[in-house]
């Protein structure tokens, strides 16, 4: 194969043409990740940045606390509670996005061709519009003096505004809102390929609607379910903007905690170590995704 | 009548949920847009129609500055991303799949797989040492960072376009003694162009919307429109942000509609 000069020339040309893109990504994305890994093994500098001395302290600090007096180790409860909140909120977001996303995808897939294109476009627009703006829209609705509370006060349903902003619920709501299209699009792709004759077969065999859903539809569209879940779970786990705008300073997720290390925390190595942890978690989720989702099922974006 | 055959696929409650989802998806954005035209500065109590927030936002020197910077970065980054993505797409399609090709795919799609905050932190670490070493503080860092994460968005539509291309056209051109350059100029390029324009638009929108990476990479005084808005949201709510948001939304919808029309023509 490599003996064929024409093939070899084509391969060389392929590399040459890809070189600028590879260089750009090496400088602007992949290379810095390697440097970040190195930084996680250094000592924090006094005013941010690092001291070039080997240290495993940052990695210990990811989950452990070293007592400043006697050096005993204990679990860092504050860190663990942030991890737990991130995992919990990301899972809840994924679950709820599926619960409302599946009927939506099914509804779109069972329309006629024209309506389908229009509805898909309607799902896609929010997906491409600014995440910050969408999160901000939620903020304006649920804040104390926001639309929802103002309306409820006005109709007399409540006499005190319900505090929704800066709670875990707000972060959950916001993330479901912004990531929902990522669930609907791959689900749609899977349902679209579903052979509706299978339903007929199921009903002919006296299956109930629920049995059909559980034993016929779900197994067939499973790749889409996995794809959608991973596509929602990954950005939700690493979310930064949504928890910052809707969770405030107290209801941090991993992303905000990482940022803190580069700001007031002045602990770059810890921030780098936390980033590596997040990257590993996300990579694990991606490996699950590529193992389960079939090759043809590639939603873009 | 077509509706009858669909009744079999109708599941109870699904239609209701779907309609609710569409309403919920658009209601907050609609509210945001509506209150950008509010005469008062509340974002919840309607005090009459007014266009005052638009000129007011524009009169703000910081907004003008951030808008100009955002457009500058998005333009440079999307052109850079589309150029390298087009070259890479030409280099990785229209021939037998090799291991090298999957490496290129992986590299190009890498920004889509790594959480943004992680890339942002890595870039902060990397660029801050370069800033110290070279003393250069300009927009170059933001342009490189944006171009990198925009490349996959530019690459996907171009690759899709090339994969759907009829290879025999290039062969025919070569058979007619066209030089390699002539073939590229008169056969390949016109065929790729719609894909490249589509990719350019996606890259532009992606760059324009970025918050996290910009926040970490920018030097002092280099706010883009999104980072400016983020800082505003933190302070207080004012319908000024609604006006800026509305204009940004409008730009996105226009570019996306153009993108859809452009890519739909293919079939």
Residue B4: pLDDT over 60: no
Residue A281: pLDDT over 80: yes
Chain A contact for B231 (CB, 8 A cutoff)? no
Do B73 and B142 touch, CB atoms closer than 8 A? yes
Cα separation of B191 and B203, whole Å? 20
Q: What percent of chain A has pLDDT over 70?
A: 94
Query: Per the structure block, which two tokens stand in for A90?
Result: 């990301």
- Would the CB atoms of A21 and B101 count as touching at under 8 Å? no
Do A92 and A103 touch, CB atoms closer than 8 A? no
For A101-110, A173-182, A242-251, which range has the lowest pLDDT when averaged over its residues? A242-251
B105 compared with A289, residue with greater pLDDT:
B105
- Would the CB atoms of B113 and A129 count as touching at under 8 Å? no
- Would the CB atoms of A11 and B98 count as touching at under 8 Å? yes
Q: Which residue of B has its CA nearest to A255?
A: B117
Q: What is the pLDDT of residues B14-64, one digit of tens each?
A: 889 999 999 999 999 999 999 999 888 777 788 888 888 899 888 889 999
Cα separation of A122 and A48, whole Å? 45
Torsion of CA B78, A280, A179, A296, to 10 degrees: 80
H helices within chain A, ranges in order?
5-25, 31-39, 57-63, 77-109, 113-128, 131-142, 147-155, 168-192, 197-204, 209-212, 218-237, 241-242, 254-262, 268-292
Write down the pLDDT at residue A1. 46
Contacting residues for A119 by C-beta, under 8 A, at least 6 apart: A107, A108, A111, B22
Q: Is the dihedral of CA B134, B138, B140, B142 positive or negative?
A: positive
- Would the CB atoms of A30 and B107 count as touching at under 8 Å? yes
Residue A54 three-state SS: strand
Cα separation of A136 and A245, whole Å? 7
Q: Mean pLDDT throughout B83-107?
A: 83
- Using alpha carbons only, give the angle B107, A87, A65 rounded to the nearest 5 degrees: 100
Residue B165 three-state SS: coil
Least CB-CB distance to A30: which of B96, B110, B155? B110
For helices B225-235 and B61-92, angle between their N-to-C axes, nearest 10 degrees? 130
A4 compared with B50, residue with greater pLDDT:
B50
* Domain boundaries along the sequence of chain A: 77-293
- Would the CB atoms of B151 and A25 count as touching at under 8 Å? yes
The CA-based diameter of chain A, rounded to the nearest angstrom, is: 82
The CA-based diameter of chain B, rounded to the nearest angstrom, is: 72
Residue A21: pLDDT over 90: yes
Return the closest-CA partner of residue B62 out of B234, B211, B224, B249.
B224
Do B148 and A29 touch, CB atoms closer than 8 A? yes
Cα separation of A117 and A224, whole Å? 19
Residue A68 three-state SS: coil
Q: Which residue of A has its CA nearest to B97?
A: A11
Residue A184: pLDDT over 80: yes
Do B205 and B255 touch, CB atoms closer than 8 A? yes
Write down the pLDDT at residue A275. 95
Chain A contact for B84 (CB, 8 A cutoff)? yes
Query: Per the structure block, which two tokens stand in for A67?
Result: 């007592």
Q: Mean pLDDT throughout B229-255?
A: 85
Q: Residue B18 CA to chain centroid, in angstroms?
A: 27
Contacting residues for B121 by C-beta, under 8 A, at least 6 apart: A36, A258, A259, A262, A271, A272, A275, B216
Least CB-CB distance to A14: which of B20, B25, B91? B91
> CA dist B48 to B54, B144, B174, B246, Å?
15, 45, 67, 18
From chain A, the residues in CB contact with B155 under 8 A are 21
> CA dist A300 to A45, A95, A235, A244, B32, Å?
41, 21, 15, 27, 28
Cα separation of A172 and A87, whole Å? 11
Least CB-CB distance to B110: which of A25, A106, A151? A25
Least CB-CB distance to A132: which of B42, B122, B226? B226
Does the predicted model carry a pTM greater than 0.90?
no
Q: Residue A157 CA to chain centroid, in angstroms?
A: 35
Query: Per the structure block, which two tokens stand in for A83?
Result: 């991890």
Chain B contact for A162 (CB, 8 A cutoff)? no
Q: What is the pLDDT of residues A148-173, one digit of tens each?
A: 888 888 888 888 888 888 999 999 99
Write down the pLDDT at residue B69. 96
Write down the pLDDT at residue B5. 45
Q: Is the dihedral of CA A286, A289, A295, A297 positive or negative?
A: negative
Q: What is the pLDDT of residues A103-131, one digit of tens each?
A: 999 999 988 888 998 999 899 888 888 89
Task: Give bridge partners of residue A51 from the DSSP assignment.
Answer: A43
- Topology of domain A77-293 in CATH is MetI-like fold (1.10.3720)
- Would the CB atoms of B145 and A238 count as touching at under 8 Å? no
Do A37 and B125 touch, CB atoms closer than 8 A? no
């Amino acid at each position: 194969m490599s003996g064929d000069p024409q093939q070899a020339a084509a391969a060389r040309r392929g590399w040459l043409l890809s070189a600028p893109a590879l260089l750009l990504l090496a400088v602007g994305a992949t290379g810095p990740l390697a440097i970040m890994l190195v930084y996680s093994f250094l000592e924090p500098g006094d005013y941010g940045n690092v001291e070039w001395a080997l240290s495993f302290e940052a990695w210990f600090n990811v989950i452990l606390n070293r007592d400043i007096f006697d050096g005993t180790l204990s679990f860092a409860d504050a860190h663990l509670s942030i991890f737990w909140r991130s995992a919990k909120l990301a899972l809840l977001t994924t679950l709820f996005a599926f619960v409302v996303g599946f009927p939506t995808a099914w509804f779109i897939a069972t329309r006629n061709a024209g309506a389908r294109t229009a509805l898909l476009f309607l799902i896609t627009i929010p997906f491409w519009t600014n995440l910050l703006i969408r999160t901000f829209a939620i903020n304006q609705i649920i804040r104390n003096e926001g639309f929802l509370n103002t309306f409820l006060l006005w109709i007399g349903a409540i006499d005190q505004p319900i505090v929704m902003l800066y709670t875990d619920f707000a972060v959950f709501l916001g993330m479901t809102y912004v990531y929902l299209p990522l669930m609907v699009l791959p689900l749609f792709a899977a349902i679209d390929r579903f052979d509706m004759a299978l339903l007929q077969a199921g009903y002919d065999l006296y299956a109930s609607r629920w049995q059909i859903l559980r034993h016929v539809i779900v197994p067939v569209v499973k790749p889409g379910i996995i794809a959608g879940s991973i596509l929602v779970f990954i950005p939700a786990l690493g979310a930064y903007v949504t928890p910052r705008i809707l969770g405030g300073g107290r209801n941090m997720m991993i992303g905000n905690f990482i940022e803190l290390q580069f700001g007031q925390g002045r602990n770059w190595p810890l921030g780098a170590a936390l980033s590596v942890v997040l990257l590993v978690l996300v990579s694990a989720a991606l490996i699950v995704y590529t193992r389960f989702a079939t090759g043809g099922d590639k939603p873009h974006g | 009548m077509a509706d009858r055959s669909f009744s079999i696929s109708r599941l109870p409650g699904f239609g209701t949920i779907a309609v609710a989802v569409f309403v919920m998806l658009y209601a907050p954005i609609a509210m945001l847009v509506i209150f950008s035209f509010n005469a008062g500065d509340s974002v919840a109590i309607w005090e009459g129609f007014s266009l005052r927030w638009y000129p007011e936002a524009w009169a703000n020197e910081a907004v003008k500055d951030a808008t100009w910077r955002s457009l500058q970065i998005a333009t440079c980054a999307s052109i850079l991303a589309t150029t390298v993505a087009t070259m890479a797409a030409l280099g990785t399609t229209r021939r037998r799949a090799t291991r090298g090709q999957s490496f290129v795919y992986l590299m190009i799609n890498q920004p889509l797989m790594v959480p943004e905050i992680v890339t942002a932190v890595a870039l902060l670490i990397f660029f801050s040492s370069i800033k110290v070493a070279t003393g250069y503080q300009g927009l170059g860092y933001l342009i490189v960072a944006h171009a990198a994460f925009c490349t996959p968005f530019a690459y996907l539509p171009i690759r899709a376009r090339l994969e759907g291309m009829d290879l025999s056209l290039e062969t025919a051109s070569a058979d007619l003694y066209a030089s390699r350059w002539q073939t590229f100029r008169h056969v390949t390029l016109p065929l790729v162009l719609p894909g490249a324009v589509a990719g350019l638009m996606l890259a532009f929108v992606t760059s324009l919307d970025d918050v996290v990476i910009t926040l970490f990479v920018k030097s002092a005084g280099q706010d883009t429109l999104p980072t400016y808005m983020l800082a505003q949201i933190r302070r207080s709510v004012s319908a000024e942000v609604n006006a800026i948001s509305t204009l940004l939304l409008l730009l996105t919808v226009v570019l996306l509609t153009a993108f859809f029309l452009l890519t739909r023509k293919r079939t």
